[in-house]
Amino acid sequence: MCLYSCWQQAQNENLNSRNEMRRIVEIEIEKYLSTKEYNPSPHRFSSAETSVADRTIPIVYSCENCNYKISFKPYDFEKHNNSKNTNIQLNDKIIIDKYIKNTADLITLYSLDFYCPNCNQPTTILFKGGESGYWGIYELEIEKIIVLKNEQ
Protein backbone atom coordinates (compact mmCIF):
# COMPACT_ATOMS: atom_id res chain seq x y z
CA MET A 1 0.00 0.00 0.00
CA CYS A 2 2.72 2.44 0.93
CA LEU A 3 4.54 1.69 -2.31
CA TYR A 4 1.88 3.34 -4.48
CA SER A 5 1.13 6.26 -2.14
CA CYS A 6 4.86 6.90 -1.56
CA TRP A 7 5.49 6.75 -5.32
CA GLN A 8 2.55 9.12 -5.98
CA GLN A 9 3.81 11.58 -3.34
CA ALA A 10 7.31 11.49 -4.87
CA GLN A 11 5.83 12.15 -8.31
CA ASN A 12 3.83 15.13 -7.01
CA GLU A 13 6.90 16.59 -5.29
CA ASN A 14 8.93 16.12 -8.48
CA LEU A 15 6.19 17.80 -10.54
CA ASN A 16 5.95 20.70 -8.07
CA SER A 17 9.71 21.27 -8.06
CA ARG A 18 9.79 21.34 -11.89
CA ASN A 19 6.77 23.67 -12.02
CA GLU A 20 8.39 26.16 -9.65
CA MET A 21 11.15 26.71 -12.21
CA ARG A 22 8.67 27.84 -14.89
CA ARG A 23 6.79 31.08 -15.41
CA ILE A 24 3.95 32.38 -17.56
CA VAL A 25 4.61 35.30 -19.89
CA GLU A 26 1.93 37.24 -21.79
CA ILE A 27 3.22 38.22 -25.21
CA GLU A 28 2.18 41.02 -27.57
CA ILE A 29 -0.57 39.87 -29.91
CA GLU A 30 0.14 42.46 -32.59
CA LYS A 31 3.79 41.47 -32.78
CA TYR A 32 3.29 37.69 -33.13
CA LEU A 33 -0.03 37.28 -34.99
CA SER A 34 -0.97 38.13 -38.57
CA THR A 35 -4.42 39.17 -37.30
CA LYS A 36 -6.27 38.96 -34.01
CA GLU A 37 -9.80 38.62 -35.31
CA TYR A 38 -11.78 36.72 -37.88
CA ASN A 39 -15.20 38.02 -38.81
CA PRO A 40 -16.43 36.67 -42.14
CA SER A 41 -19.52 38.88 -42.12
CA PRO A 42 -19.86 40.42 -45.61
CA HIS A 43 -21.04 43.80 -44.39
CA ARG A 44 -19.53 46.73 -42.56
CA PHE A 45 -21.53 48.97 -40.28
CA SER A 46 -18.62 51.22 -39.46
CA SER A 47 -15.65 52.50 -41.42
CA ALA A 48 -13.47 51.42 -38.47
CA GLU A 49 -14.22 47.75 -39.20
CA THR A 50 -11.73 45.79 -41.26
CA SER A 51 -12.97 45.26 -44.82
CA VAL A 52 -13.74 41.68 -45.91
CA ALA A 53 -10.89 41.79 -48.44
CA ASP A 54 -8.40 42.64 -45.68
CA ARG A 55 -9.43 39.90 -43.25
CA THR A 56 -6.46 37.57 -43.05
CA ILE A 57 -6.90 33.81 -43.23
CA PRO A 58 -5.13 31.74 -42.20
CA ILE A 59 -4.16 33.30 -38.88
CA VAL A 60 -0.38 32.98 -38.62
CA TYR A 61 1.40 32.85 -35.26
CA SER A 62 5.15 33.50 -35.12
CA CYS A 63 6.71 31.82 -32.10
CA GLU A 64 8.15 34.52 -29.87
CA ASN A 65 10.99 32.20 -28.89
CA CYS A 66 12.22 30.98 -32.30
CA ASN A 67 10.08 32.84 -34.88
CA TYR A 68 8.69 29.57 -36.31
CA LYS A 69 5.43 30.30 -38.17
CA ILE A 70 2.31 28.25 -37.47
CA SER A 71 -0.91 28.70 -39.47
CA PHE A 72 -4.39 28.33 -38.01
CA LYS A 73 -7.75 28.32 -39.73
CA PRO A 74 -10.98 29.43 -38.04
CA TYR A 75 -11.99 25.76 -37.73
CA ASP A 76 -8.96 25.14 -35.46
CA PHE A 77 -10.38 27.69 -33.03
CA GLU A 78 -13.96 26.52 -33.49
CA LYS A 79 -12.95 23.00 -32.38
CA HIS A 80 -11.71 24.48 -29.09
CA ASN A 81 -14.91 26.37 -28.20
CA ASN A 82 -16.25 24.85 -24.96
CA SER A 83 -13.65 22.09 -25.26
CA LYS A 84 -11.68 20.56 -22.42
CA ASN A 85 -9.25 18.94 -24.85
CA THR A 86 -5.63 19.97 -24.68
CA ASN A 87 -2.61 19.56 -26.92
CA ILE A 88 -0.07 19.94 -24.11
CA GLN A 89 1.13 17.72 -21.28
CA LEU A 90 -0.69 17.69 -17.96
CA ASN A 91 2.07 19.36 -15.93
CA ASP A 92 2.19 22.31 -18.37
CA LYS A 93 -1.62 22.47 -18.51
CA ILE A 94 -1.82 22.67 -14.69
CA ILE A 95 0.49 25.71 -14.60
CA ILE A 96 -1.36 27.49 -17.40
CA ASP A 97 -4.83 26.71 -15.98
CA LYS A 98 -3.79 28.01 -12.57
CA TYR A 99 -2.65 31.28 -14.14
CA ILE A 100 -5.90 31.61 -16.11
CA LYS A 101 -8.06 30.92 -13.03
CA ASN A 102 -6.15 33.55 -11.05
CA THR A 103 -6.61 36.21 -13.75
CA ALA A 104 -10.23 37.38 -13.71
CA ASP A 105 -10.50 38.58 -17.31
CA LEU A 106 -9.16 35.29 -18.72
CA ILE A 107 -11.57 32.85 -17.04
CA THR A 108 -14.35 33.24 -19.63
CA LEU A 109 -12.09 32.82 -22.67
CA TYR A 110 -11.58 29.68 -24.73
CA SER A 111 -8.09 28.33 -25.28
CA LEU A 112 -6.14 26.68 -28.04
CA ASP A 113 -2.86 25.31 -26.69
CA PHE A 114 0.09 23.69 -28.43
CA TYR A 115 3.84 23.21 -28.43
CA CYS A 116 5.90 25.06 -31.00
CA PRO A 117 7.01 22.37 -33.46
CA ASN A 118 10.47 23.92 -33.63
CA CYS A 119 11.45 24.86 -30.05
CA ASN A 120 8.75 22.97 -28.09
CA GLN A 121 7.63 26.05 -26.12
CA PRO A 122 4.13 25.59 -24.59
CA THR A 123 1.82 28.28 -25.97
CA THR A 124 -1.83 29.07 -25.27
CA ILE A 125 -3.96 31.36 -27.40
CA LEU A 126 -6.96 32.70 -25.46
CA PHE A 127 -9.93 33.86 -27.51
CA LYS A 128 -13.63 34.67 -27.69
CA GLY A 129 -15.50 32.83 -30.39
CA GLY A 130 -18.88 31.69 -31.56
CA GLU A 131 -21.56 31.87 -34.16
CA SER A 132 -22.91 35.27 -34.98
CA GLY A 133 -24.83 37.25 -37.50
CA TYR A 134 -27.77 36.26 -39.60
CA TRP A 135 -26.09 33.18 -41.08
CA GLY A 136 -24.54 31.96 -37.84
CA ILE A 137 -21.04 32.07 -39.28
CA TYR A 138 -18.20 31.40 -36.83
CA GLU A 139 -16.14 34.42 -35.83
CA LEU A 140 -13.41 34.90 -33.26
CA GLU A 141 -11.29 37.49 -31.51
CA ILE A 142 -7.96 36.63 -29.92
CA GLU A 143 -7.56 38.30 -26.52
CA LYS A 144 -4.22 37.01 -25.15
CA ILE A 145 -1.32 34.75 -25.92
CA ILE A 146 0.58 33.23 -23.03
CA VAL A 147 3.71 31.11 -23.12
CA LEU A 148 5.33 28.96 -20.48
CA LYS A 149 9.01 29.83 -20.04
CA ASN A 150 11.75 27.96 -18.23
CA GLU A 151 13.50 30.05 -15.59
CA GLN A 152 17.10 30.68 -16.49
Is residue 55 in a domain? yes
Residue 113: which residues within 8 A CB-CB, separation 6 or more? 86, 87, 88, 93, 96, 122, 123, 124, 125
pLDDT tens by residue, 5-61: 444 554 445 444 444 588 999 998 888 888 766 665 555 566 666 655 555 567 899
Given a cut of 70, whether residue 150 has pLDDT beyond it is yes
Is residue 6 in a domain? no
As for how many domains the chain has, the answer is: 1
The model's pTM is 0.73
Is residue 2 in a domain? no
Q: Residue 112 belongs to what domain range?
A: 23-150
